[in-house]
Amino acid sequence: MFSYIWPILLIVTANTLYQICAKGIPESMNTYASMTVTYAVSSVFSFIMFIVTSKAKPSFSDFALTNWATIILGVVITGLEVGFICAYKSGWKVNTLALVSSTILAAVLIFVGFFLYKEQLSVSKIAGVVICLVGLYFINK
């Protein structure tokens, strides 16, 4: 059970801190300068964790397994973070931005799951999307 729960706790904790940090980037700082520092720190931290979490001697052959998804993910994550930072710089509030973007994302991913991964699309899921979209109306009112 713990192996099922801890990733969600990590996601929520990291995402909470992420939103606080993204909102805290100085408005006058070039967003891509901030991202360069962020990813330099992330690269060092990731490499340390790669060494620490390797069961035996770290196998650098893991890097040979890199495929298109790993490469594109780097670009996509940059777009995601730049989007959040720019949204905060343009005036979005912490208590609204993450909720609005996550709700829209959840609605989009229901259809991505259906069309790309053949996941089940039920009436209750569609109703959930409608309820979420109605909720967005009230959040932004």
pLDDT value of residue 55: 84
**Do 103 and 132 touch, CB atoms closer than 8 A?**
yes
- The whole-number pLDDT of residue 93 equals 94
pLDDT of residue 12: 93
What pLDDT is attached to residue 64? 94
Closest residue by Cα to residue 24 from 85, 98, 111: 85
Quote the distance between the C-alpha of residue 70 and its chain's center. 15
| pLDDT bucket at 80, cuts 50 / 70 / 90 | very high
Write the DSSP symbol of residue 63.
Answer: G
Which ranges of the chain would DSSP assign to H, the alpha helix? 2-24, 31-53, 68-89, 94-117, 123-139
- The reported pLDDT for the residue numbered 65 is 94
pLDDT level of residue 119 (50, 70, 90 thresholds): very high
- b/e string for 36-51 if b means 16 or more Cβ within 10 A? eebeeeeeeeeeeeee
Tell me what pLDDT residue 89 has. Answer: 96
Query: In this structure, are residues 85 and 22 in contact, taking their beta carbons and an 8 Å threshold?
Result: yes
In this prediction, residue 101 carries a pLDDT of 93
> Residue 68: which pLDDT band, with cuts at 50, 70 and 90?
very high
Is residue 23 over pLDDT 90?
Answer: yes
Task: Read off the pLDDT band of 139 (50, 70, 90).
Answer: confident
